[in-house]
Amino acid sequence: MPKSATPTHCPYCALQCGMNLTVGPDAGVEVAERADFPVNRGALCAKGRTAPALLTSRLRLTSPLVRKGGKLEPAGWDEALDRIAGALDGARHKHGPDACAVFGGGGLTNEKAYALGKFARVVLGTSQIDYNGRFCMSSAAAAGTAAFGLDRGLPFPLEDVARTGCVILVGSNPAETMPPALRYFTELRENGGTLIVVDPRRTRTAEQADLHLAPRPGTDLALALGLLHLVVAEGRTDEAYIRERTTGWEEARAAAMAHWPEYVERVTGVPVPQLREAVRLFCAPESAMVLTARGPEQQAKGTDTVGAWINLCLATGRAGRPLSGYGCLTGQGNGQGGREHGQKADQLPGYRKLTDPAARRHVAEVWGVDPDSLPGPGRSAYELLDALGTDIRTLLVMGSNPVVSAPRAAHVEERLRALDFLAVCDVVLSETAELADVVLPVTQWAEETGTTTNLEGRVLLRRQAVAPPEGVRSDLEVLHELAARLGVEKGFPADPEEVFEELRRASAGGPADYSGITYRRLAEENGVFWPCPAPERPVGAATGDSTGTGARTGGSGFSAKGTPAEVHPGTPRMFLDRFATEDGRARFVPVSHRPSAEEPDEEYPLLLTTGRVLAQYQSGAQTRRVDELNAAAPGPFVELHPRLAARLGAAEGDPVAVVSRRGRATAPARISAGIRPDTVFMPFHWPGAGRANTVTNPALDPTSRMPEFKVCAVRVEPVDRDQPGAEVAVRA
Ligand SMILES: Nc1nc2c(c(=O)[nH]1)N[C@H]1C(S)=C(S)[C@@H](COP(=O)(O)OP(=O)(O)OC[C@H]3O[C@@H](n4cnc5c(=O)[nH]c(N)nc54)[C@H](O)[C@@H]3O)O[C@H]1N2
Ligand SMILES: Nc1nc2c(c(=O)[nH]1)N[C@H]1C(S)=C(S)[C@@H](COP(=O)(O)OP(=O)(O)OC[C@H]3O[C@@H](n4cnc5c(=O)[nH]c(N)nc54)[C@H](O)[C@@H]3O)O[C@H]1N2
Ligand code: SF4
Ligand SMILES: [Mo]
């Protein structure tokens, strides 16, 4: 008899690949292809394929842990929840509500992100909530909002990438970070389009490109301005488009013209003929796109940098037109939805602003509270972590592992230790959970239902496929229990669909309007693109076409709640008629190049940049506990150019130390001719001696508050294998 398959989605990245899960007779869970989901059409990377391993792993948590006599010991749920509620209550009474802080994650479902934001503002009354998405695509969000009035990662479906004329992919390595998406870039080239990759390393993605530009880390802003200068100088601007659909061109143009090609070559290291070739490839076809990811965004000038790339699109008429536009490839499973529903320091659900009186009134009404009781905006992620143990006395972490993933991580670890009380909800004993006073074990993706919003703005339904093991509870149950213990009995249901129904109302009329979306629709339509207002509301920001969003699968098993609202088709493509600004025009931003927060000097003559490898995910808390992935990527490394290696006398695999003003990380050398000789690269997935974030710079972008993960000044030293501290492979 065939086992029954549950269609659902991967727990990891923003592609949210569709997969079928089946439960075997021995309760083992298997992944099977799910060809009906259009984004990945059945393809999965090694992480998605092996994701079920953690469901049954002995390394997952199945009992709450409470610190007793300095050690984390198994305890009952009531005791653990009482301890957390007591600590939060004590802190707020003694020091005021802002003494309680909350740190969320972009991997949390929409329902969890929504409930967490509401918990902070309504139950704790604290302004001190932010999340790891601040470390992810916040610079792109800030720049997109400034230019278009609204930001949605990709304002078009990924399938459009295959049919445009040229794509400039800036600081993005989908060959390792979203392997099934690579197909769209291959198809682009098969269809006669061209691919330009901008990356200081010749990555597996760059190898597929027609043109690879390898700038010095931290100089993308100068590069984009240099290209715009050439566009103007060569008469390739689209004057009619600039006139009709934009404002602010004169100032932006004047700023760009100061960036002469020869100056840009000096700053970036990209030769002028390559700049000219890039302009030719980008401007020749009828349509083109610029897509950015963490390379240009994770800089202390990330917002201006993305703004400069958007200016290039606007000046050439390549935004808000079919098969043309600017897009950001979001990162985490719910990187998009996680930033829309209120776990960000300055946001309310529906992508509303916490400082907007009308937004406060609307959300307060849905929540049944006085608008004046809602706190104002709080600190950004790094600033919040930096303040732990000062005015912040207790912290609740849900869905992040900052001991490994935050910049200047040794300092962050010290701040976490300075708290009076730390509570962590996680599926495993992460490095952050190891420091906690109470750890709550929560259900994993396949054991619960919820929605995520992928990098295209497509809202998806992740369905429960298996029963959770005894001893674990869902994040929603945790918030329900904590709220009740803190005196709020109602408003925190543990049922995800009930939370979603409230989220629909809270988001109604906001920029990210989900009010026309129901679980039933999501199940039947394979996802719905926001904005999707309920029909009684005007479409508002929703413009553009509304082509079908996928095949109907029928028989969803979900109730017909909200049936009258099931009319708006959703918005796969945005901005085709107008941008979401007041006058409907896109806004140029006048920007100029500036150096990185830390430039090389005699003591620290090289640049460190950081990023990812295929087989590990983020802080590695999950993937380091999956044998197959650990075998494929067992530990950190320092990628360096053969000339630099020769100067250090380091051979392949020799331990080397990367030292900055913040600290020192040690890992084996990986010698590669594909990296610039002035730059070294480390993946950030490991704790311990090889932790890249011991070294990184927490300098923040003034607008997005994004830390400068992608560039800091370092020196590299050979390490004597026999010396203490020379350990090189760090495992879970
Ligand atoms: N395997 C795997 N996949 C993932 C993740 C993971 O941890 N592992 N995480 C997910 C998440 S949350 C995210 S945010 C995405 C990230 O996805 P990506 O942005 O593709 O990943 P990164 O490796 O951080 O950075 C991309 C590239 O930027 C380059 N780069 C470094 N400095 C600069 C610079 O100054 N300028 C430019 N132009 N490029 C630079 C790096 O060399 C790197 O190849 O991946 C998602 N997918
Ligand atoms: N040097 C450097 N540092 C970086 C980056 C970089 O490029 N370079 N990238 C940054 C980026 S883009 C990101 S997104 C961050 C990510 O960094 P982190 O925020 O540390 O991300 P994860 O490792 O995914 O952490 C998620 C944690 O939550 C747990 N978890 C998973 N699902 C759930 C759930 O549903 N509920 C609960 N309660 N827990 C869950 C996991 O087991 C894990 O411990 O790292 C940032 N740090
Ligand atoms: S690409 Fe992302 S969503 Fe797809 S299987 Fe891999 S980790 Fe999962
Ligand atoms: Mo991310």
Task: For 358-408, write each residue's pLDDT tens digit.
Answer: 999 999 999 999 999 999 999 999 999 999 999 999 999 999 999 999 999
- Of 357, 304, 350, 376, the C-alpha closest to 590 is 304
Q: Which amino acid is present at 33? A: E
**692 Cβ inside 6 Å of ligand 2:** yes
pLDDT value, residue 539: 44
Q: Whose CA is nearest to atom 2 of ligand 3?
A: 13
pLDDT value, residue 723: 64
Question: What pLDDT band is residue 26 in, cutting at 50, 70 and 90?
Answer: confident
Task: For 402-446, write each residue's pLDDT tens digit.
Answer: 999 999 999 999 999 999 999 999 999 999 999 999 999 999 999
pLDDT value, residue 548: 35
Q: What gap in Å lies between CA 619 and CA 617, rounded to an integer?
A: 6
Tokens, residue 388: 């732990």
Q: Locate the ligand 1 atom nearest the alpha carbon of residue 106 and give its number.
A: 12
Cβ(572)–Cβ(134) below 8 Å: no
Q: Whose CA is nearest to atom 8 of ligand 3?
A: 48
Q: Locate the ligand 2 atom nearest the alpha carbon of residue 444 and give its number.
A: 35
Q: State yes or no: pLDDT of 728 exceeds 90.
A: no
pLDDT value, residue 340: 94
Task: For 314-350, write each residue's pLDDT tens digit.
Answer: 999 999 999 999 999 999 999 999 999 999 999 999 9
Q: Whose CA is nearest to atom 23 of ligand 1?
A: 611
Helices (H), 678-725: none
Distant-in-sequence, close-in-space partners of 323: CB < 8 Å, separation ≥ 6: 156, 160, 163, 164, 165, 287, 289
Among 16, 173, 301, name the best residue to mutate to test ligand 1's pocket (greatest count of ligand atoms within 8 A of Cβ): 173
Tokens, residue 334: 């719910």
Question: What pLDDT band is residue 551 in, cutting at 50, 70 and 90?
Answer: very low
Q: What gap in Å lies between CA 108 and CA 452, rounded to an integer?
A: 8
Distance 614 CA to ligand 3 centre (A): 10
Which ligand is closest in space to the CA of residue 181? 3
pLDDT value, residue 554: 39
Which ligand is closest in space to the CA of residue 177? 1
CA–centroid distance for 333 within its chain: 8
Q: What is the dihedral sign for C-alpha 10, 12, 16, 17?
A: negative
Distant-in-sequence, close-in-space partners of 645: CB < 8 Å, separation ≥ 6: 651, 669, 671
Q: Whose CA is nearest to atom 1 of ligand 3?
A: 178
Q: Locate the ligand 3 atom nearest the alpha carbon of residue 44 and give its number.
A: 5
Please state, in angstroms and as integers, the Cα–Cα distance from residue 135 to each residue in 29, 154, 387, 411, 573, following that order.
33, 18, 17, 16, 27
Strand runs labelled E in 307-383: 325-328, 347-348, 352-353
Task: For 573-609, write each residue's pLDDT tens digit.
Answer: 999 999 999 999 999 999 999 999 999 999 999 999 9
pLDDT value, residue 722: 67
Query: Which string of DSSP letters, residue by residue, matches 150-194?
Result: S--S-SS-GGGGGGSSEEEEES--HHHH-GGGHHHHHHHHHTT-E
Q: Whose CA is nearest to atom 46 of ligand 2?
A: 405
pLDDT value, residue 725: 52
Q: State yes or no: pLDDT of 470 exceeds 50.
A: yes
pLDDT value, residue 351: 95
Which ligand is closest in space to the CA of residue 302? 1
Q: State yes or no: pLDDT of 528 exceeds 80.
A: yes
User: Span 695-709, mean pLDDT?
Assistant: 98
Tokens, residue 602: 């005699």
pLDDT value, residue 545: 40
Q: Whose CA is nearest to atom 6 of ligand 3?
A: 45
**47 Cβ inside 6 Å of ligand 3:** yes
**612 Cβ inside 6 Å of ligand 1:** yes
Distance 403 CA to ligand 2 centre (A): 10
Share of the chain above pLDDT 70, in %: 94
Question: What pLDDT band is residue 721 in, cutting at 50, 70 and 90?
Answer: confident
Tokens, residue 230: 């050439």
**618 Cβ inside 6 Å of ligand 1:** yes
Question: What pLDDT band is residue 72 in, cutting at 50, 70 and 90?
Answer: very high
Distance 407 CA to ligand 2 centre (A): 13
Task: For 484-525, write each residue's pLDDT tens digit.
Answer: 999 999 999 999 999 999 999 999 999 999 999 999 999 999
Sort residue 653 into left (φ over 0), alpha (ψ -120 to 50) or beta.
left
**400 Cβ inside 6 Å of ligand 2:** yes
Q: State yes or no: pLDDT of 555 exceeds 50.
A: no
At 482, phi and psi to the nearest 5?
A: -65, -40
Distance 418 CA to ligand 3 centre (A): 36
Q: State yes or no: pLDDT of 243 exceeds 70.
A: yes
Bridge partners (DSSP) of residue 504 are none
Task: For 649-670, write each residue's pLDDT tens digit.
Answer: 999 999 999 999 999 999 999 9
Q: Which amino acid is present at 566? A: E
CA angle 32, 35, 39 (to 5 degrees): 110
Q: Locate the ligand 2 atom nearest the alpha carbon of residue 440 and give its number.
A: 38
Distance 254 CA to ligand 1 centre (A): 32
**614 Cβ inside 6 Å of ligand 1:** yes
**182 Cβ inside 6 Å of ligand 3:** no
Distance 177 CA to ligand 3 centre (A): 8
Share of the chain above pLDDT 90, in %: 92
- Of 309, 169, 325, 303, the C-alpha closest to 245 is 325
